[in-house]
Amino acid sequence: MPRISIANVVITSTLLVSLNGAAAPQDEKVTTLSDQKEIAVTVYNDNLALIKDARLVKLDRDFNKLAWREVSAQMRPETALLRNITNPDGFHLQEQNFDFDLLTPQKLLEKYLNKEVTVIRTNPATGTELRETATVLATNGGTILKFADRIETGVPGRLAFSGVPENLRDKPTLVVSLINPVAGEQNLELSYLTAGLSWRVDYVAELNEHDDRLDLNGWATLTNQSGAAYPNAKLQLVAGDLNRVRQRHSISRNMMSMAPKMADAAEMKEESLFEYHLYTLQRPTTLMENQTKQVALMSASNVPINKEYVLAGENYYYSGQYGNIDPKLKVGVFVEFQNKGDGLGIPLPKGVIRVYKKDAQSNAQFVGEDQINHTPKNEPIRLKLGDAFDVTAEKKQTDFQKLAGMGRSSQIFESAYQITLKNAKHEAVTVVVQEPMPGDWTMISESQPHTKATSGMAEWKVTVPADGKTVLTYKVRIKY
């Protein structure tokens, strides 16, 4: 008789089976999604969700053992709270167990280690079934069975089991021992925290032809890897950084590369919640297991923006002699807008803004993306989209002197620099040159005036003509 693997074994059982196919002890009350009257899902930013599952369950008076099936497989059982809404007085819990070890042929075989199973073989010539009793000796790396007169490896036929162990379920189940004051149907609500549910915001922006306005749409992207489905759920999203006690690592997430372009801003209603912001979907939605869903969050059109070219320097070359610092520096491209106006002026959750622009054939092309943090209303949003191709810079040190000081105390340096900005575009551009100045600094000379952006930052706004160049020179004294 050929050997076959456990994956191909037909499992039979004499165990009582409930109408939905789930094995359960006879003394248990079982509630499933068919009893569910309402479910609310509140998802936080950091792989955390609050589930409120309301069901109509028939209970006996006094002691009941209730199997609450189809909960999240990543439930934090220490956060579970079961309440009786119909008859709260006299209702209290004694014990609860979270059974997340799910029924599979391999798991069932492992639970029968050192126990007896029935091996059923069929004679291929006559079709007659032969039955033998065997003890499971091992399941690691293969199956070893002990018969009355021999020991065999592998599974020589079908296996029949006398039952399913009580804590082995086909779906994640919370088993609660409770005292109920009144017999009959009760409105129960189970609330708990779970991992495996997460959300983030994906924003899509499109620039206009002149790069001075954009359309912005925001989508809440939800990922459900909790091991349960939430049909017709009341969905709420909380934006903000909650303090949490870390006990385990976050699970991996499947990310979507792009969000749809258009959004209906009426989908979500925003309100303040403690030091966070709460977004409520104005209709029920279903979160299927292992699904990524997107819900429209906001939409704004014709938003004024400011486009900037920025050349950012370093502070290391102000205390030494360097000569040519870099013959081809990159000039960053930034856009900035205010979170106010039609469609904006609401708290924007952190997320990635992806920016597109139409080409000459009216096809939207991707031009860059940046991450934003939680942004209150009326605050600026600044995005770096990349580095300019046609605007370049060259920087060199033209003079350097150490005027005073030995070692690390009371050192004074004077150094001069030349920055050449080149523009291959057909229109003039303005480049913001930012130079971080270490120590106490004094500008001695410069080809055009600077502004003191911060105590340690000199800034010039340099106009570079079309198909031309502009040279910025300056000399600075640094005291440490």
The tens digit of pLDDT for each residue in 341-370 reads: 888 998 999 999 999 999 999 999 999 999
For range 406-420, the mean pLDDT: 85
So what's the pLDDT on residue 463? 97
Q: Where are the domains of the chain?
A: 197-301, 306-339+379-479
So what's the pLDDT on residue 433? 98
Q: Model confidence at 127, in pLDDT bands (50, 70, 90)?
A: confident
User: pLDDT of 289-309, one tens digit each?
Assistant: 999 999 988 999 999 999 999
So what's the pLDDT on residue 311? 97
Q: Model confidence at 74, in pLDDT bands (50, 70, 90)?
A: very high
Whether 176 has a pLDDT exceeding 60, the answer reads yes
From the candidate CATH numbers 2.30.42, 3.40.50, 2.60.40, 2.60.260, the one assigned to the domain spanning 306-339+379-479: 2.60.40
For range 36-57, the mean pLDDT: 94
So what's the pLDDT on residue 39? 97
For range 165-177, the mean pLDDT: 84
So what's the pLDDT on residue 409? 64
User: pLDDT of 10-22, one tens digit each?
Assistant: 444 333 333 344 4
Q: Model confidence at 32, in pLDDT bands (50, 70, 90)?
A: very high
Whether 277 has a pLDDT exceeding 90, the answer reads no
So what's the pLDDT on residue 323? 85
For range 59-67, the mean pLDDT: 95
- 193-197, 297-301, 324-328, 379-383, range with the lowest pLDDT: 324-328
So what's the pLDDT on residue 46? 80
216 contacts: CB under 8 Å, gap ≥ 6? 203, 204, 205, 298, 299, 300, 301, 303, 343, 344, 353
- 107 vs 42: which has the higher pLDDT: 42
So what's the pLDDT on residue 244? 66
Whether 251 has a pLDDT exceeding 50, the answer reads no
Query: What end-to-end distance do the CA atoms of the chain give, in Å?
Result: 88
Q: For all residues of the chain together, what is the average pLDDT?
A: 87
Q: What pTM value is reported for the model?
A: 0.72
Q: Model confidence at 327, in pLDDT bands (50, 70, 90)?
A: confident
- 5-19, 219-233, 309-323, 456-470, range with the lowest pLDDT: 5-19
